[in-house]
Chains A and B, each alone.
Chain A
Amino acid sequence: MVGMLRDLFMFRQGTMLRFLVIQLGVTLLLLELLRLGGGLSYDPPPLMKTANLSSVVGGVVFGFGMVLTGSCVVGCLYKTGAGNVLGLCAFIFMIAGATLYAEMAPWWKHVTEHWNLTQQVTVYHSFGIPSWWLTLPLLVVWLWRVHAWKREKKLVVAAVAEGYIQPWKTAVGLAGVTVLLCVFTGMPMGITTMYVKMGAWVEQLVIPEHVAATSYFVGKGLNYIPPLTDQMVSGGAGPGLDAIAALQLSVILGILTGAFLSAKRVGEFHWVYRVPKSQYLFSASGGLLVGLGARMAPGCNVWHMMGGVPFLAWNSFLFVLGLLPGVWLGSKVLLSRMS
């Protein structure tokens, strides 16, 4: 996803953005069908917040960092799984950035408490209309556009990398995964609270009294009854193995394992650490900002763009509104530094 947005500003190329549009459209369609069929237990999902301008600021910080580090919160995982040391560096600093947020959370909460735009989570709840009033016209435009791309043969990417999967297939697959997660867990994919948790694990080993006294680690932001069960579960950013760990750690481990197995299968797994020092610097500083931005928003690009936008959630649109200038700024900095 980083390349899709970055290449738009850096090289004036929007080729890969088509596949994000495909993913969004398929998710929008499947979610609407599920909603109409009564298959959505939570609408909006738990953890989707009411509209607040903090998402714009978080989006700017996230987008800027994402371009510098070359990965998003998921990208660094599959790069790490395939043995890329810059990916691992980004991953570690994203954890550091997300954990750093725990220290500034009370201040940020205080600053943004009057930044609410509406008390509703989604656009259709705000207007008090059925969701299909909005999704239907959007899907008509989407179908027309995708059909045009297909006719112009713009949906196939020429690639020589062994085992390359055409991006449109990945987009459809990710839409399916998002919808399945909504059915079985009640919410789309999100992983950055787990990044704070990982940081909290380290802090717990070194300064346990500080962890116990930090309100962000103590709070339980998630309290809900998962679909297909009748038991209340809860979870937060603290070091405990709770519902957040069950939901998000499994995704993180799954991506790492999948990337490792895939890289092994095509014979491309190897650790290479001899890269220019400046790239470690970009990776570390960008990773720190990505982790911080993901918590300030709150939510990362995966949560907002793959899940929130198809749910027509205000905060996700605000996040994208901040993400774009952040990516533009990051591209400018990177181009000037590289030249």
Chain B
Amino acid sequence: MKTIEFDICGQICPSALLTALKEINRHKGQLKQGECELVILTDARDATRTIPSAVENMGYQVDISKKSGCYLIRIFTR
């Protein structure tokens, strides 16, 4: 499975959420087929609540971890 990473560190909500949603829509074909997963790197604490909430409502799986003071939000389809 291909991993597509994008870094939105420095951005705050709602821009962080809207940027993430834009990327998800751009790759939704591959995401739905399970051909890729998206990894969003963010330092916006608010985004660790808003992005998973929005993404789960769209039917994707979400996994969050912390690395070097930033949060990695992994979005994928099982």
Residues of B41-78 at the interface with A, using a CB-CB cut-off of 8 Å, are 43, 45-46, 48-50, 52-54, 64, 66, 69-71
B9 in contact (CB, < 8 A): yes
Give a binary string over A29-73; 1 marks a CB under 8 Å from any B CB, 0 the rest. Answer: 000000000000000000000000000000000000000001100
B48 touches A272 (CB 8 A): no
**Of the residues A159, A268, A279, A335, contact of B49 by C-beta under 8 Å:** A159
CB distance from B15 to the nearest CB of A (A): 5
Contact A87-B22, Cβ < 8 Å, known A159-B48, A161-B48, A268-B45: no
A338 touches B69 (CB 8 A): no
- Chain B residue at minimum C-beta to C-beta distance from A70: B12
Q: Which residues of A contact B49 (CB under 8 A)?
A: 157-159, 161
Q: Which residues of B contact A273 (CB under 8 A)?
A: 10
A324 in contact (CB, < 8 A): no
A79 in contact (CB, < 8 A): yes
- Chain B residue at minimum C-beta to C-beta distance from A263: B69
Contact A160-B48, Cβ < 8 Å, known A11-B54, A270-B43, A279-B15: yes
CB distance from A221 to the nearest CB of B (A): 33
B11 touches A86 (CB 8 A): yes
B residues contacting the other copy or chain, number (CB 8 A): 24
A residues contacting the other copy or chain, number (CB 8 A): 34
Q: Which residues of B contact A164 (CB under 8 A)?
A: 45
B18 in contact (CB, < 8 A): yes
- Chain B residue at minimum C-beta to C-beta distance from A71: B12
B4 in contact (CB, < 8 A): no
A272 touches B45 (CB 8 A): no
**Of the residues A7, A86, A160, contact of B64 by C-beta under 8 Å:** A160
A269 in contact (CB, < 8 A): yes
Q: Which residues of A contact B52 (CB under 8 A)?
A: 160
B14 touches A161 (CB 8 A): no
Residues of A156-179 at the interface with B, using a CB-CB cut-off of 8 Å, are 157-162, 164
**What 8 A-B pairs come out closest when comparing CB atoms?**
A272-B10, A275-B10, A161-B45, A338-B18, A268-B69, A70-B12, A267-B69, A160-B64
